[in-house]
């Protein structure tokens, strides 16, 4: 069994590495026919912070330019239809340079955005991301 990926806030005085479990700190509020994410204080503190996270690439387009992909807490095992459990286990990534497509773990460093009104159903995005294999 593979270990869960880890989220790390790269700050010299940073606390211990934060597990993906922290990103589960989101609940859903239903109003006006729409579900809206409500984040815990721990997650809110990560908004617009530079983070580093290790996870698994899920390509969302066909081709070699993978500067836009999903990062998962668990490997997809090559099945594009086999998604992990829910929005808190996926992060949309917008990379500055396209990495190679891989099923191996990779590290993404960038600015974490909390998506409070995104219609895609995702709740996290990392922008200006640098990706290392």
Measured in whole angstroms, the distance separating CA 29 from the mean position of its chain's CA atoms is 21
- d(CA 129, CA 103) in angstroms, rounded, equals 18
Per-range mean pLDDT, top range of 47-51, 73-77, 100-104: 47-51
Q: Identify the structural domains of the chain with CATH numbers, from first to last.
A: 6-132 (2.40.50.870)
Query: What pLDDT, on a 0 to 100 scale, did the predictor assign at position 75?
Result: 86
- Confidence class for position 87, pLDDT limits 50, 70, 90: confident
Closest by CA position to 70, among listed 1, 4, 19, 131? 131
Around Cβ 130, how many Cβ atoms within 10 Å?
14
Q: pTM for the complete prediction?
A: 0.83
Per the prediction, the chain carries an average pLDDT of: 82
Instruction: Provide CB contacts within 8 A for 90, sequence distance 6+.
Output: 58, 70, 71, 72, 73, 83, 84, 122, 124
């Amino acid at each position: 069994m593979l270990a869960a990926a880890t989220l790390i806030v790269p700050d010299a005085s940073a606390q211990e590495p934060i597990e993906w479990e922290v990103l589960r700190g989101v609940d859903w509020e239903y109003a006006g026919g729409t579900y809206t994410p409500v984040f815990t204080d721990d997650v809110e503190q990560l908004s617009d912070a530079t983070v580093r996270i290790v996870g698994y690439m899920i390509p969302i387009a066909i081709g070699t330019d993978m500067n836009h992909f999903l990062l998962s807490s668990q490997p997809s095992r090559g099945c594009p239809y086999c998604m992990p459990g829910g929005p808190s286990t996926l992060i949309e990534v917008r990379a500055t340079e396209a990495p190679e497509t891989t099923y191996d773990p990779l590290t993404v460093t960038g600015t974490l955005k909390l998506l409070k009104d995104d219609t895609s159903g995702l709740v996290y995005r990392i922008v200006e991301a640098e990706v290392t294999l």
